[in-house]
Amino acid sequence: MNCLFCDFVTGKRKNHLGRQPFKPLNETKNTLSFMAIDIPATEDGHLLVIPKKHFTYIEDLPKNILHELADHAALISKVLRKTHQGCNILINDGASAGQHIMHVHFHVIPRDKGDNIKIEVWKRRRMSKQNFIKLNDRIRIALHRFL
């Protein structure tokens, strides 16, 4: 398996694909954070938080590592909020959702009013109350099959 993030964890790679150096920001027993190379033009950072072991999707993570990953992302957000008005914390889960490196990871993006970053840009669907309830019920039933 060829995984950029796994190569960072093991020390096999010392540079991002754009040749910027890989420099860890923080590390826990099971997680690691570092700067991404695609930094928004109007902000001064885009950080990634990854599990050290390879997992492709969020549902693959054992609960203890998922909790540690979420705690690590929350810490990064807390630090960024000292110099920014907010943060987006997001995950692209699967190739069709924009996941380019198939190793689960949280993006933590600092945000400020007027930064002109568009995270949630899609055409919104108009839906009747009845259709909204039907969709909600269909998802709830599917969810309860997993519980």
According to the model, what pLDDT value does residue 52 have? 98
Averaged pLDDT for residues 18-34: 93
53 closest CA partner among 36, 68, 75, 35? 68
Range of the domain at 27: 4-122
Q: Are 80 and 103 in contact (CB under 8 A)?
A: no
Residue 24 pLDDT greater than 90, yes or no: yes
Q: What is the mean pLDDT of residues 83-109?
A: 95
Within a domain: residue 132? no
How confident is the model over 103-121, as pLDDT tens digits? 999 999 999 999 988 887 7
For the chain, the 3-state helix, strand and coil shares in percent, each to the nearest 5, are 30, 20, 50
Q: Is residue 13 part of a domain?
A: yes
Is residue 43 one of the residues assigned to a domain? yes
Is residue 110 one of the residues assigned to a domain? yes
Number of domains comprising the chain: 1
Specify the CATH number for the domain of residue 67. Answer: 3.30.428.10
| Inside any domain, residue 127 | no
Task: Give a yes or no: residue 99 inside a domain.
Answer: yes
- Rounded Cα distance between 140 and 135, Å, is 9
CA atoms within 13 Å, Cβ hemisphere of 14: 0
What pLDDT digit, counting tens, does each position of 42-59 carry? 778 899 999 999 999 999
pTM of the model: 0.88
Residue 56 lies in a domain: yes
